[in-house]
Structure 1
Amino acid sequence: MPITIKSDREIRLMAEAGQILAKVHEELEKAICPGITTGEIDRLGEKLIRSYDCIPSFLDYHGYPASICVSVNNEVVHGIPSDRRILQEGDIVSLDAGVIHRGYHSDAARTVGVGTVSDVARKLIYVTRDSFFAGLEYAREGNYLFDISKAIGNYAESRGYGVVRDLCGHGIGTELHEAPEIPNYDVGRKGVKLKAGMTLAIEPMINTGTWEVDWLDDDWTVVTRDGGLSAHYENTILITEGDPVILSLRKKET
């Protein structure tokens, strides 16, 4: 699949999708508290998405059974929500969500603490978010795709964290996953040259221990191999002739 360059109309629609998704994440984060189930989070997320006349990107995507991926503690991504999974004080929870707005996707993830969390958990969340912004510095026309990957990986690894290698970011537009794939570590190559109009979902997944992961028997949930904590931070961005634009982030969040 070739990398698509979006038209002005497409960029406008993706910006609208991104702002809707940012609002959904804002409301989900407000709802996170000890005692809530991951199933309740999923139902709230779907209700919010549909309230904006959007469709959840993830629901039934390759058979995924929910609208929000809710991953707790050592779960990296794709955790399946359940009314049997109750969040506890001190947990961390990664919320990965996507919306389809007038045929265009936006994809974003946040990791938040449940009540009061440990210093280890809090630092992991911050480093994961900051590794995204380290990569974003290189998301400029004329740079190369894997400049982003190298900056993300170097930032997290230099601070002693494991950077997941089995999963990556991606292009996005009329499809949830488009070319190119975007690793979160230095792959030792340049990759394609970035051009204005590219839309990318950049998503570091960072672990307190090893970068290695395993898949559970549900064929969806990815967990850290050593049982350590994992955090996830993602935004849909636009490459421009100047600074990159984060489409799925409200201005007050920057």
Structure 2
Amino acid sequence: MSIESEADLIGITKVSEVVAITLKKMREHARPGMTTKELDNYGYEILHSFSAKSAPKVTYNFPGYTCISVNNEAAHGIPSDKTVLKEGDLVNIDVSAELGGYFADNGGSFVVGEDIHGLNKLVDTSTSALHKALKEIKGGVRISDIGRIIETEAKRNGFKVIRNLVGHGVGRSLHEAPHEIPCFYDKFNTQRFRKNTVVAVETFISTKGSYTRDKGDGWTLLAEKGGFVAQHEHTILITDGEPVILTKANGI
């Protein structure tokens, strides 16, 4: 999405704050013994309080208000009454919403309770990779160069990146051009970031393997080789300097 008016800036800023607050509150609310459906319903109540609508539900008829992925689920996990959070689980919450005709997207992985499985290094690498990448994004920068930064940070810490999950443009719909902002270096990707546009930049950092596969429910993607994947995502406004992080209220 290109920002073409003050109304555009106000609209995208407002919905970005809503998804950021929702993600932050859901992360703080999560605890062992809670089902992912209970957590999703909590997220719905927050979105509803802002008169915002779940973007995956209105766009794709997703069977939940947010995507909640646990442990070996890498992305697009379906909230369920059967999935009970346990101490040390790796949880990813992806919150996107529509408000007033504008869409924003953010997500984050975290460990529930005590890190008994030693996954915080993975989470920390995902966040550090995201912030190192964001710091370098501005109008004219090649998208592939940002992927290189994320991939380099992952490898430096002994991890891999997922190659079939990407960031994307966002704004007037949930997914817009540029349709692929990979977290690896792709020499064939010659696209560049454009000033005054809005994108959602994501990291997908993996303990094993570089791809995900369909779980079989039509939505959930599993990390290959029994690995774990941490994801963090911000919606940003690109400038000719450092970008404006529109979802900074999520605390990531």
Place the TM-score, normalised by the shorter chain, in its bin.
over 0.9
Q: Paired residue for 1:47?
A: 45
Q: Paired residue for 1:194?
A: 193
Matched-pair contact (CA < 8 Å) for 2:168–2:181: yes
- Structure 1 residues 14-53: aligned runs within 5 Å: 14-53=12-51
Q: Paired residue for 1:6?
A: 3
Aligned residue pair count: 250
The farther-off stretch of 182-191 and 84-93 is 182-191
Q: Paired residue for 1:75?
A: 73
Q: Give, in angstroms, the shift of residue 201 of structure 1.
A: 0.5
The farther-off stretch of 108-117 and 157-166 is 157-166
In 2, the alpha carbon distance for the partners of 1:103 and 1:196 equals 21
Pick from 144, 147, 152 the counterpart of residue 146 of structure 1: 144
Deviations 1:181-220 (A, max 9, x none): 1111000145223222111101111111111221111011
In 2, the alpha carbon distance for the partners of 1:156 and 1:12 equals 35
Q: TM-score, normalised by structure 2?
A: 0.94
Q: Paired residue for 1:223?
A: 222
The farther-off stretch of 28-37 and 119-128 is 119-128
The farther-off stretch of 30-39 and 52-61 is 52-61
Q: Paired residue for 1:58?
A: 56
Matched-pair contact (CA < 8 Å) for 2:134–2:242: no
Query: CA 1:120–1:18 in 2, change beyond 3 Å: closer, same or farther?
Result: same
Matched-pair contact (CA < 8 Å) for 2:59–2:174: no
- Structure 1 residues 76-115: aligned runs within 5 Å: 76-115=74-113
Matched-pair contact (CA < 8 Å) for 2:24–2:249: no
In 2, the alpha carbon distance for the partners of 1:92 and 1:5 equals 35
In 1, the alpha carbon distance for the partners of 2:28 and 2:190 equals 39
Amino acid aligned to 1:120: G
In 1, the alpha carbon distance for the partners of 2:104 and 2:43 equals 14
In 2, the alpha carbon distance for the partners of 1:72 and 1:61 equals 23
Q: Paired residue for 1:164?
A: 162
Q: Cα RMSD over matched residues?
A: 1.5
Q: TM-score, normalised by structure 1?
A: 0.94
Q: Give, in angstroms, the shift of residue 11 of structure 1.
A: 2.0
Q: Give, in angstroms, the shift of residue 121 of structure 1.
A: 0.5
Matched-pair contact (CA < 8 Å) for 2:88–2:117: no
Pick from 127, 130, 133 the counterpart of residue 132 of structure 1: 130
In 2, the alpha carbon distance for the partners of 1:10 and 1:58 equals 21
In 2, the alpha carbon distance for the partners of 1:67 and 1:93 equals 16
Q: Paired residue for 2:204?
A: 205
Q: Paired residue for 1:232?
A: 231
Q: Give, in angstroms, the shift of residue 154 of structure 1.
A: 1.5
Q: Give, in angstroms, the shift of residue 84 of structure 1.
A: 0.8
User: Partner of 2:196: helix, strand, or coil?
Assistant: coil
Deviations 1:23-82 (A, max 9, x none): 111210111110000000111111110110111111153231111100001110000010
Q: Paired residue for 1:241?
A: 240
Q: Give, in angstroms, the shift of residue 94 of structure 1.
A: 0.1
In 1, the alpha carbon distance for the partners of 2:25 and 2:135 equals 28
Amino acid aligned to 2:23: H
